[in-house]
Structure 1
């Protein structure tokens, strides 16, 4: 427990849940790779940080779409060990009191078109270069996490804390794209209410870009938002029930 003034901050009931929420709510991250041999200046093996766009599989595995022309990609080809820093401190008067998460793991190239589609849905601008020969999708296999959830609240996380088990997402995976398309085509009003009444975002042409067992991602132009589910959904029927429930909750709130 951490003391703030005269009050005690409660410990997190589920640090893994908050860690996954922090990751899934991030559109970018700092990627740290190890400089490959032959780098100018004799910096072989030194950590090199860079900024990357990030998306996530249904189990919260981080996904990167990166070019082989980039230094970090060539570093990963030589040594797949890497780290990602997710920064959730925006909006805090003292940034060091906000949450942040470091994830260490191994990066591997993936040819899974489903994962590429999830990345492009999350970052539509990526469609302009996703087909270029030098670009490839990479996934990060997490081994350890280190989360600072707030002042003095520090948690070490295992790989199982950072990703959902297959039983939680396998059934949903085959229907996720259809659910998103159905919501955008037939329930645009509900998506708008999710954004404006449940998440306090400005009105606009909000679209759903992805869904997973713990929530869904929304976008309007350059604005993004993450709507967390109260109940974990493991299949299409449970997803429908949760989305209907949230639409009813949104309609019950005053605009």
Structure 2
């Protein structure tokens, strides 16, 4: 990941780190406030390979009814708090990112697969008749990194273009790494993370900014390792993984 906390790659990683997002919609037919009132709710998201936010929401929810009337939304992302000295409630990381865009229903298989890879438990209700997948087409973003630290950027600077080849090749990359290169993944974990490298790491997912690994025992359910630079194609994925493996063995 870029060392610049306001770079596009760092902002995409901030979105991926967040375990939920605050969704703001415009009230329409709400039972408590008049039309046009701003309404917020908490939703669980996923981030597509190129950085596009994805949602799985129910038509029974107020926010979905609002979106069907007016698709303009805002999403507020913040990483899990870093606690000073392990003392509960003292947050030392105040970075947050607001994304402005339009929520569009999209049940494409690739979007469904991406969302369920990030949120496996959602498979229990993803096929309910009232649920649907939505992608947020990003118009703009606003980052605040603390007092006096901010950046505003258009959506086409946040979302990485030309990632379709990586999306299409996702499953083949994962299958290849897990069939032939588990030793390389273990070495990469040992070099780029402080997790135990000897617990059977396998690739779970890959995107333009990094990869998610899972292990059989003794580690978090999912471990994310960011890449030193964004990738767009399976060839880029091969090159960056080879580079990281070589560094881990040096």
**Do the two structures share a fold, i.e. TM-score over 0.5?**
yes
SS of the equivalent of 1:95 reads coil
Instruction: Indicate yes or no: 2:56 matched with 1:65.
Output: yes
Q: What corresponds to 2:203 in structure 1?
A: 208
Between the two proteins, the alignment pairs up a number of residues equal to 239
Q: Do the aligned residues in 1 keep the contact of 2:97 with 2:141 (CA within 8 Å)?
A: yes
- Could you tell me whether the CA contact under 8 Å between 1:195 and 1:225 is conserved in 2? no
Give 1:246's aligned residue: 244
Q: 2:144 matched to which residue of 1? A: 148
| Cα distance in 1 for residues equivalent to 2:220 and 2:26 | 32
Question: Alpha carbons of 1:50 and 1:218: their partners in 2 closer, same or farther (altered >3 Å)?
Answer: farther
More strand by share: 1
Supply the distance in 2 between the matched residues of 1:97 and 1:233 (Cα, whole angstroms): 27
Q: Report the counterpart of residue 33 of structure 1 in structure 2.
A: 25
* Aligned partners of 1:89 and 1:99 also within 8 Å: no
What is residue 217 of structure 1 aligned with on the other side?
212
CA distance in 2 between counterparts of 1:35 and 1:215 reads 37
TM-score scaled by length of structure 2? 0.84
| Counterpart in the other structure of 1:17 | 9
Cα distance, 1:228 vs structure 2: 1.7
Unaligned ranges ≥5, structure 1: 1-10
Does the 8 Å CA contact 1:195/1:218 hold for their aligned counterparts?
A: no
What is the RMSD computed on CA atoms of the aligned residues?
2.5
Q: Deviations over 1:120-179 (max 9, x none)?
A: 11111122222221111100011111101233211111111210122xx12222211211
1:198 counterpart = 2:192: yes
Going from structure 1 to structure 2, the CA distance change for 1:136 and 1:15 (only over 3 Å counts) comes to same
Contact preservation (8 Å) 1:25, 1:225: no
Deviates more, 1:72-81 or 1:188-197: 188-197
Structure 1 residue 85, shift from structure 2 partner: 0.8
Aligned to 1:236: 234
Q: 56-65 or 188-197: which moved more?
A: 188-197
Alpha-carbon shift at residue 23 of structure 1 (Å):
1.4
TM-score (normalised: structure 1): 0.82
Change (3 A) 1:164 1:206: same
Residues 49-69 of structure 1 deviation map (CA, whole Å, 9 limit, x = unaligned): 222221122211111111112
User: Do 1:66 and 1:137's aligned partners in 2 also have CA atoms closer than 8 Å?
Assistant: yes
